[in-house]
C-alpha cells in the first residue's frame, strides 16, 4: 500500500487500525481451530478438555477446567503432543506487558513506538518485519554472526541488507545480559563480541530466543519416560523408552515446525495401526520464515555440505533478472542451489525473496526424489514466473544459465 504509486495507484490518507488487524488474525486462527474441532466430531474422535498427567503408562488422570471433576482415561497406547513454549533466559523476566513473548505479541492490540527483539531467528525476524511495517523503531539483537543463523550464510547476509534498507536496526555478535522494565519502557543491556557494553531503550522488549518443550506436570518421571533438556527422547517411530508411550511434535525437540509435528503424527499413528508407512526424512524438511523478503530452505547449506565432505557445485540466480519480479517489484533476493559435484544430486536449496515459502515446495519434492540438476534444468518453467529462478539457478551451477 505504501508503494502503490509505483503501479500508478494513488492511496490517500493511508492509515491502519491495529486492534482490527490483530482481531482479524485471531479470527482466522479461531476459524481454523473450529475446523479441526469439526473434523474431530466428523471422525468420531472423543475430545476431553482438561490437564492430563500419567498415573501409569496406561492410565491418565485428567483435571477438568473451571473446577470440573477429575476423570480417569485408560489406553494401551498414549501419544504425548504437548508442544512447546517460549524459552526463558536468565535476567529477562517476562511480564506480558513490557517484556513479552511471541504469544503476547500475537494478542497485543497496539503497535509500540519502539521495540527491541531479542533473537534474530525466524520468530524474531517475522515480528521485526511486522512491527517495522507499521512504523515501530525495531532493533534486533542476535548473538550469532548473522540473522537466521541456521540458514545459509548468503541468505542471512541478504536478509540483513534488506532489513537495514527497511531501517530495522541490527546488532549481531551481541548478547543480552539483562532487561529492566518500568512503567515507561524497558532498558536492554547488551554486550558485543568485543566486550563493548550498551544500553538499548525501547517501549517493549520481545523475547524471541526459541522454544522449550512442555514436559512439566505430566508425571513423566513417575512412569520412567526419558527426558533430556525438556525434550522427550524417542526412537525411529516416536516410541519412548516406556512401552505404549509415544511422543511427537515440538515436545521431542527440533525442528520446531508445525508441518513437522503434523507429519510425525501421521507416521506415528500409521505405525501404531499396523499400516505400511515410512520414517520421516528430516533431511528434506522445508524451513520457512514469513517476513519480507521471505526465506525458505531445504537440505544442506553450502557450509554444511562442505563440512560433510561433499565437493559441491553451487548455482545462484537473482530475482531482479526476471520479468515477473520486475513487474511485481519483487526484485530482492535470489535462489541458491547446492549440488553434489560427483553425481549432480540436489543437496540443498535456499531462497530469499517474494513467495519463497511457496517456491520451496518444488525443491522439497526434487530433493526427496534425489533429483539431479538436469531434471530441474530440463523441466520447462512457465514464463513469466518467479519459479524461473529455480531453473536458472540449476543451470548456473554448471555454467548453463541463459539469462545472466
| CB-CB neighbours of 130 under 10 Å | 17
Predicted confidence at residue 67, as pLDDT, reads 74
Active site annotation includes 383: yes
Q: Does residue 323 sit within a domain?
A: yes
Residue 219 and residue 209: Cα distance in Å, rounded?
A: 27
Cell numbers representing residue 166 in the block: 527497511
Q: Are 404 and 392 in contact (CB under 8 A)?
A: yes
- Domain range enclosing 357: 284-397
Query: DSSP assignment, residue 110?
Result: S
Q: Which secondary structure element, helix H or strand E, spans residue 163, and what is its range?
A: helix 153-165
Phi, psi of 303 (to 5 degrees): -65, -45
Cell numbers representing residue 181 in the block: 522494565
Contacts (Cβ under 8 Å, ≥6 apart) of 13: none
Written as one string, the DSSP assignment of 265-321 is HHHHHHHHTT-------GGG--EEE-SSSEEEEEE--HHHHHHTT--EEEEEEEGGG
Residue 64 and residue 89: Cα distance in Å, rounded?
A: 31
Predicted confidence at residue 239, as pLDDT, reads 98
Q: Which of 230, 257, 280 is the last residue of a domain?
A: 280
The structure's pTM equals 0.94
Residues 185 and 227 in one domain: no
Q: Does residue 69 sit within a domain?
A: yes
Q: Does residue 30 sit within a domain?
A: no
Q: Which of 189, 210, 231 is the last residue of a domain?
A: 210
Task: Number of helices (H) and strands (E) in the chain: give both, helices first.
Answer: 11, 22
Q: Are 122 and 147 in contact (CB under 8 A)?
A: no
Profile the chain (404 residues) by mean pLDDT over runs of 10 residues. 90 92 95 96 95 96 86 96 93 93 94 97 98 97 97 98 98 96 94 95 96 97 97 98 98 96 97 95 97 98 98 98 96 98 97 98 97 96 98 97 91
Residues 205 and 251 in one domain: no
CATH label of the domain that carries residue 115: 3.50.50.60
Q: Does residue 9 sit within a domain?
A: no
Predicted confidence at residue 228, as pLDDT, reads 97
Phi, psi of 359 (to 5 degrees): -65, -25
Predicted confidence at residue 272, as pLDDT, reads 97
Q: Are 334 and 314 in contact (CB under 8 A)?
A: no
Residues 300 and 393 in one domain: yes
Residues 116 and 162 in one domain: yes
Residues 273 and 305 in one domain: no
Cell numbers representing residue 34 in the block: 473450529
Q: Which of 250, 280, 310 is the last residue of a domain?
A: 280
Catalytic residue among 20, 259, 383, 403: 383
Q: Which secondary structure element, helix H or strand E, spans residue 260, and what is its range?
A: helix 258-272
Residues written for the chain:
404
| CB-CB neighbours of 165 under 10 Å | 9
Written as one string, the DSSP assignment of 120-132 is -SHHHHHHHHHHH
Residue 51 and residue 62: Cα distance in Å, rounded?
A: 5
Query: DSSP assignment, residue 139?
Result: E
- Collapsing DSSP states into helix, strand and coil, what is residue 200? strand
Taking Cα atoms as reference points, which of 131, 89, 139 lies closest to residue 110? 131
Find how far residue 398's CA is from the centre of its chain.
31
CATH label of the domain that carries residue 318: 3.30.390.30
Residue 68 and residue 226: Cα distance in Å, rounded?
A: 31
Residues 275 and 259 in one domain: yes
Residues 145 and 120 in one domain: yes
Residues 326 and 357 in one domain: yes
Taking Cα atoms as reference points, which of 103, 93, 105 lies closest to residue 138? 105
Q: Does residue 16 sit within a domain?
A: no
Predicted confidence at residue 2, as pLDDT, reads 86
Residues 298 and 387 in one domain: yes
Residues 106 and 156 in one domain: yes
Find how far residue 226's CA is from the centre of its chain.
27
Written as one string, the DSSP assignment of 88-152 is PBTTB---SSSEE-HHHHHH--S--SEEEEE--SHHHHHHHHHHHHTT-EEEEE-SSSSSSTTS-
Q: Does residue 5 sit within a domain?
A: no
Q: Does residue 133 sit within a domain?
A: yes
Q: Does residue 370 sit within a domain?
A: yes
Predicted confidence at residue 91, as pLDDT, reads 85
How many domains does the chain contain in total? Answer: 3
SS3 letters for 359-390? HHHHHHHHHHCCCEHHHHHHCCCCCCCCCHHH
Residues 75 and 219 in one domain: yes
Q: Are strands 114-118 and 204-207 parallel, antiparallel or unpaired?
A: parallel
Residues 263 and 292 in one domain: no
Amino acid at each position: 500500500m505504501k508503494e502503490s504509486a509505483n503501479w500508478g495507484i494513488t492511496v490517500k490518507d493511508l492509515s491502519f487500525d491495529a486492534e482490527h488487524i490483530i482481531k482479524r488474525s485471531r479470527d482466522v486462527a479461531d476459524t481454523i481451530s473450529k475446523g479441526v474441532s469439526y473434523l474431530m466430531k466428523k471422525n468420531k474422535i472423543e475430545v476431553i478438555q482438561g490437564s492430563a498427567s500419567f498415573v501409569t503408562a496406561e492410565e491418565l488422570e485428567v483435571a477438568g477446567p473451571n473446577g470440573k471433576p477429575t476423570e480417569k482415561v485408560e489406553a494401551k497406547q498414549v501419544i504425548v503432543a504437548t508442544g512447546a513454549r517460549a524459552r526463558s533466559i536468565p535476567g529477562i523476566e517476562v511480564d506480558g506487558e513490557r517484556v513479552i513473548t511471541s504469544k503476547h505479541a500475537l494478542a497485543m492490540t497496539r503497535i509500540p513506538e519502539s521495540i527491541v527483539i531479542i533473537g534474530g531467528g525466524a520468530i524474531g525476524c517475522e515480528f521485526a518485519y511486522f512491527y517495522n511495517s507499521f512504523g515501530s523503531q525495531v532493533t534486533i539483537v542476535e548473538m550469532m554472526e548473522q540473522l537466521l543463523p541456521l540458514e545459509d550464510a548468503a541468505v542471512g547476509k541478504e536478509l540483513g541488507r534488506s532489513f537495514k534498507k527497511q531501517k530495522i536496526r541490527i546488532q549481531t555478535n551481541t548478547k543480552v545480559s539483562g532487561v529492566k522494565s518500568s512503567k515507561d519502557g524497558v532498558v536492554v543491556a547488551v554486550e558485543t563480541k568485543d566486550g563493548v557494553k550498551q544500553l538499548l531503550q525501547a517501549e517493549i522488549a520481545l523475547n524471541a530466543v526459541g522454544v522449550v518443550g512442555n514436559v512439566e506436570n505430566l508425571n513423566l518421571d513417575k512412569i520412567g519416560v526419558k527426558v533430556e533438556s525438556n525434550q522427550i527422547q524417542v526412537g525411529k517411530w516416536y516410541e519412548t523408552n516406556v512401552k505404549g508411550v509415544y511422543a511427537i511434535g515440538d515436545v521431542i525437540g527440533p525442528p520446531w515446525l508445525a508441518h513437522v509435528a503434523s507429519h510425525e503424527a501421521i507416521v506415528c499413528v500409521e505405525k501404531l495401526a499396523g499400516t505400511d508407512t515410512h520414517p520421516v526424512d528430516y533431511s528434506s524438511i522445508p524451513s520457512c520464515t514469513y517476513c519480507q523478503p521471505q526465506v525458505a530452505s531445504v537440505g544442506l547449506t553450502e557450509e554444511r555440505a562442505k563440512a560433510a565432505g561433499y565437493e559441491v557445485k553451487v548455482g545462484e540466480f537473482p530475482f531482479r533478472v526476471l520479468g515477473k519480479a520486475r513487474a511485481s517489484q519483487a526484485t530482492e533476493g535470489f535462489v541458491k542451489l547446492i549440488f553434489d559435484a560427483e553425481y549432480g544430486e540436489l543437496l540443498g536449496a535456499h531462497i530469499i525473496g517474494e513467495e519463497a515459502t511457496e517456491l520451496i515446495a518444488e525443491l522439497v519434492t526434487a530433493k526427496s526424489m534425489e533429483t539431479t540438476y538436469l531434471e530441474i534444468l530440463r523441466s520447462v518453467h512457465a514464463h513469466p514466473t518467479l519459479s524461473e529462478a529455480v531453473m536458472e539457478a540449476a543451470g548456473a551451477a554448471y555454467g548453463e544459465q541463459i539469462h545472466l
